[in-house]
Structure 1
């Protein structure tokens, strides 16, 4: 990944814009060192911790970097003007050099998991996944979960969700940068992947969560389904599609139930709302029962508000008449069916 891509990603998801404003107002506060290590050649330093701060410094110090990012990433970053009297704070920064990534992990993990600068779930999952797949670390997910402070099962779900996202990127079926919503709700995905309906839809074995996660968990013949799920959860700018999931509860559950219903799935694919598609998952008697209970509640509210009717608005009287006729029709048809059913007995 190029430097331009890294900075663009930090700007989109890591509040780099706010840091630029803060530095422009106060200068760079060299309180905490960047964590670095030499690359394989020994000629360059790799920033392991503090990339957001380092990106901000580079944007202030390299005027052409903004144009390079726009040319490569089609992202325009607004860099505020930093007053001359505090520009000197960008000249030198403290760094702490470690021999390898393993040596940095304990410090980084403590800072972002137990310290003040706590990670969100995606950053925590990314950290755990990178650590887990690093063969040199020789560490189990159980040990990682202890250091991160989450349950073992939660870390397994998080790491698996990272592998699913990476698989989607690898096969060019979904990109996080293409999501329609600005905030990336990572918990939507790892919660969905723990539900049976999603496992079946994506071709995952129901017992898969018992084992340690592996890359590319979704079978190739289910990648189209994976693309659909990710777009329904996060939307797509390129496809101009809004996510059907607006909140984790209850929408992740409702989407999962819809995936198991052929008619509901067809409606989702046709661009209908989740509410419309999910309605197909209910039987006719469930819909009738729910509708009657809701109607009774709303009519009782109307009765309690009758004092607000002054007799002048004829349209309201017409609506009440229509409701009365509709209620009578429902009652008569249900009564007839009830008598017919009793007669059969």
Structure 2
């Protein structure tokens, strides 16, 4: 039996920062890149600087140097075609062979885990790079040569292939304590599921395999994959500006969780949806654009979102999409409250609350006989009587 954590330890070597490239495929960086596969190292460093607060990492590095207890994880980017890790069963022998490749300038690496630290080190040690970003005067730096030498050669755990790291990343950032934000989790999930699909597995089996790897027994991964597919369809089919979706990705999940919104979009629940097809049919593209515009706004049409609170997706929008009159009003006037007034949403809400109250009172009857003449409880019943009388009066 084989599994990702089985076998000998991976080799760990100190690698010069110049041999380490940032990761174009990192799920946290991809959303900020217009063309990830064509992005330069400067593009990636810029994204990390502008969005991931690398100055905090840099401040620690210039003060303390690099903590060897926190190696980054890399995979070879350039490597001789005849070199295979499997030719070296013992990790120490593999480490020596890799060190020889480094000494002979026959290998370099991509960082799979540790992009923030890598980018911070590059900015600290490269004056020209800081100048290109116009941050030379504000970014942490040091004149201490010992610090510069220390952070220029950092400990790296070396995996042979990116997919070999997937299990570790999933356990660490999906099910573990250092969870990524919602979009990054979904992007990672989609990527590893696609890896399994390329092996020939059916979609259902691919999801189950990833669930086993990550250690997730819920339907969380399936939901993430479905919501990510919606994101891709918004980007590719609608040409929708998806940056707001990336920043508030969980709202798309909330919308899909609503049965009435799914019905409006013509999609099945998570458990029944056919993942081999596109989720939104060609006939429902306008409805899809409406939902996205109401939640996120639309830069193409200069429309602002009509929702001011994520709870309004469930409490209000889900009722609006059930009534044609309300939908037409919302499209025309962008007034969510006015559209809601044209539904039975408040009536349904009131009805549910009354049913809930009735059940609570029926449940209370089971125990009431034990506390006859209890003054405190009788006062609470009197309060309920007053409320019921007020409700009756308002309803009449």
Same fold (TM over 0.5): yes
> Structure 1, unaligned stretches of length 5 or more?
71-75, 291-330, 339-345
In structure 2, what is the Cα distance between the partners aligned to 1:31 and 1:145? 30
Contact 1:141 / 1:152 at 8 angstroms: preserved in 2?
Answer: no
Contact 1:232 / 1:243 at 8 angstroms: preserved in 2?
Answer: yes
Give runs of aligned pairs for residues 187-336 of structure 1, distance below 5 A.
187-204=250-267, 206=268, 209-211=271-273, 213-214=275-276, 216-236=278-298, 240-270=302-332, 272-282=334-344, 286=347
In structure 1, what is the Cα distance between the partners aligned to 2:133 and 2:279? 33
- Determine if the alignment matches structure 1 residue 125 to structure 2 residue 151: no
**Tell me, what secondary structure is at the counterpart of 2:247?**
coil
Residues 153-162 or 76-85, more deviating: 76-85
**Tell me, what secondary structure is at the counterpart of 2:193?**
helix
Alpha-carbon displacement from aligned partner over 1:222-262 (angstroms, at most 9, x marks no partner) = 33433332232233556554433343324344222222323
Aligned to 1:32: 70
What is the CA RMSD across the aligned residues, in angstroms?
A: 3.9
In structure 2, what is the Cα distance between the partners aligned to 1:79 and 1:216? 47
Alpha-carbon displacement from aligned partner over 1:22-73 (angstroms, at most 9, x marks no partner) = 5466555443222221237655422222223223333334455567679xxx
Give runs of aligned pairs for residues 169-180 of structure 1, distance below 5 A.
169-171=235-237, 173-177=239-243, 179=244
Aligned to 1:49: 113
Distance 1:222 1:46, change over 3 A: farther
Distance 1:211 1:223, change over 3 A: closer
Q: Count matched residues.
A: 283
Question: Which structure is richer in relative contact order (CA contacts within 8 A, separation 6 or more)?
Answer: 2
In structure 1, what is the Cα distance between the partners aligned to 2:62 and 2:242? 29
> Structure 2, unaligned stretches of length 5 or more?
1-35, 81-106, 352-392
Aligned to 1:109: 170
In structure 2, what is the Cα distance between the partners aligned to 1:276 and 1:24? 57
In structure 2, what is the Cα distance between the partners aligned to 1:203 and 1:232? 17
Contact 1:159 / 1:213 at 8 angstroms: preserved in 2?
Answer: no
- Determine if the alignment matches structure 1 residue 155 to structure 2 residue 221: yes
TM-score normalised by length of structure 2: 0.58
In structure 1, what is the Cα distance between the partners aligned to 2:61 and 2:298? 33
**Tell me, what secondary structure is at the counterpart of 2:153?**
coil
In structure 1, what is the Cα distance between the partners aligned to 2:45 and 2:228? 21
In structure 1, what is the Cα distance between the partners aligned to 2:173 and 2:304? 32
**Tell me, what secondary structure is at the counterpart of 2:275?**
coil
Contact 1:198 / 1:256 at 8 angstroms: preserved in 2?
Answer: yes
TM-score normalised by length of structure 1: 0.65
In structure 1, what is the Cα distance between the partners aligned to 2:43 and 2:333? 32
